[in-house]
Amino acid sequence: MEANRGAGKGWFLAAALTAVCTGAPGCGAAQKIELASSKDRPLVAMTDRKTFEPSFLDVRRGATVVWRNTSALTHTVTADPSLAADPAHVEFPSAAIPFDSGEVQPGGQFAHRFDEPGIYRYVCLPWETAGMAGSVRVSR
């Protein structure tokens, strides 16, 4: 039961973070995390509301984006049309390689470095049909 207790604690933490976030968009966990991020290593929260926050990022070529699972759910960061339920939900520059985080458990994180300029659209595989998606614009 130790594992279950640990998971419960994680859930409680996530619930506490989202509890301060009733109403206003972009508040709560995502905002707190943004404070801790740097210009070259922006952070995206994966939330209990099945959203990426922020869902859009503007970064410079070479930036590493970090996705942190602040929720009690399992999420992925997937820009691979062969894995998406609908390949049209995913997009990346022709020079870029598809990527997939695999399952990111509650409290876990995933990082990806963007070396090719252009538009990237990615989804969360478990919640793709629920509309959990995000995008990154990489400038030169």
Least distance in Å: CB of 137 to Cu ion? 21
Asked if 75 is part of the footprint of Cu ion (rule: CB under 5 A), the reply reads yes
Tokens matching residue 75: 């999420």
CB nearest Cu ion: which residue? 124
Backbone angles phi, psi at 136, to 5 degrees: -135, 130
- Output the smallest distance, CB 75 to Cu ion, in A: 3
Nearer to Cu ion (CB atom), residue 19 or residue 130: 130
The full DSSP string for 51-77 is -EESSEEEEETT-EEEEEE-SSS-B--
User: Rounded to the nearest whole angstrom, what is the least distance from the CB of residue 74 to Cu ion in the complex?
Assistant: 7
User: Does 124 sit near Cu ion (CB under 5 A)?
Assistant: yes
Is 52 within 8 Å of 68 (Cβ atoms)? no
Please state, in angstroms and as integers, the Cα–Cα distance from residue 107 to each residue in 9, 45, 71, 112, following that order: 11, 10, 7, 17
What CA–CA distance (Å, rounded) separates 138 from 120?
Answer: 8
Query: How many chain residues touch Cu ion (CB under 5 A)?
Result: 4
132 binds Cu ion (CB under 5 A): yes
Q: How far is the CB of 128 from Cu ion (least distance, A)?
A: 8
- Cβ proximity to Cu ion, 105 vs 139, nearer residue: 105
Listed in sequence order, the DSSP H helices in 1-140 are 2-19, 29-36
Nearest to Cu ion of 81, 118 (CB atom): 81
Q: Is 127 in the site for Cu ion (CB under 5 A)?
A: yes
Residues in the site for Cu ion, rule: CB under 5 A?
A: 75, 124, 127, 132
